[in-house]
Amino acid sequence: MSDFHFKASQWVPFKDKAIIERVRDIKREEIEKHANPDFNITVYPDADVEFVWVTDLFTRIWQAAQLNQKLVLILPNPCPSYRHVVRLINANKIDCKNIHAFAMDEYADENGRIAPADWKYGFTHAMFHYFYDRIDPQLRPPREQFVGFTNKNINDYGKMIEDLGGADICYSGPGWTGHLAFIEPDAPEFAGSLEEWKEMSARIVTLSPFTLAQNSLHGSFGKSGDLSAVPPRAATIGPKEVIRAKHRVDSHSITVHGTTTSWQRLMTRLVLHGPVTPLIPESILQTLKTDVLVSETAAMDIEPDWNKGY
């Protein structure tokens, strides 16, 4: 059989073919192994990942109430799973006065104008719709303790988190590009050496075409592939906020509407077992105290399925 060799497209952020081939060959039974004992990778049945995540967030909220301690969260969106957390909060009458929550990112237009909190497709809107607004009014923290990006606070966003003592927990999951929040590997706004990049804080960035494609499949955009519906830029936390958080929980469980098709399967391997580099932004988690939740589907061996076409 003839060999056919080619270079990765110019649009692919990380192109090291030898490393990609190495991680592509990582088998399901090998994926949980890592040299850093603080980087804890666990594979769960697909249906369990959401419940493990919900349990972690609710437990932190419950403990903060019991101990009357401040809890600073960096939260991903859009996330309907917050509804399950709120059901537990309301059922157990948990006082949430100690919660300070920050959205990790938000869309922006071509001029860097950040989407307002009442834009129904936005991430701040989702944080309030699925989380804050569903908490019983008598249990809610003051509204100003749930914070999303605005053009007024973008330059101080990282400092706002820092002034509270830094995030206690940062929840995340890799995008198709390996982005963490909207820290894109090819965004010119995050250009720099690894050491420079690690000190970069919140800012407006240019979104990767792959992120536009990924997000065009979100339910909010009709699961339709409508690339024109996704704004071209975004506000995002920086690596600095992630690194300075006291703990991190990273989830790898996205599939195409419940099938075994998943663009995360290769990126999961690069993030967890590739080099630590700004070209794979989530790879920085390998150096930090992090609990990684991986679904069986994301952990599946990567091999051809000759019976599957488009």
pLDDT tens for the 310 residues of the chain, in order: 689 999 999 999 999 999 999 999 999 999 999 999 999 999 999 999 999 999 999 999 999 999 999 999 999 998 999 999 999 999 999 999 999 999 999 999 999 999 999 999 999 999 999 999 999 999 999 999 999 999 999 999 999 999 999 999 999 999 999 999 999 999 999 999 999 999 999 999 999 999 999 999 999 999 999 999 999 999 999 999 999 999 999 999 999 988 999 999 999 999 999 999 999 999 999 999 999 999 999 999 999 999 987 6
Q: What is the rounded distance in angstroms from the CA atom of residue 56 to the CA atom of residue 23?
A: 29
pLDDT value at residue 1: 67
Q: What is the pTM of this model?
A: 0.96
pLDDT value at residue 310: 67
> Within 13 Å, how many C-alpha atoms sit on residue 148's CB side?
23
pLDDT value at residue 308: 86
In angstroms, the first-to-last Cα distance of the chain is 24
User: Is 69 buried (19+), middle (13-18) or exposed (0-12) by CB count in 10 A?
Assistant: exposed
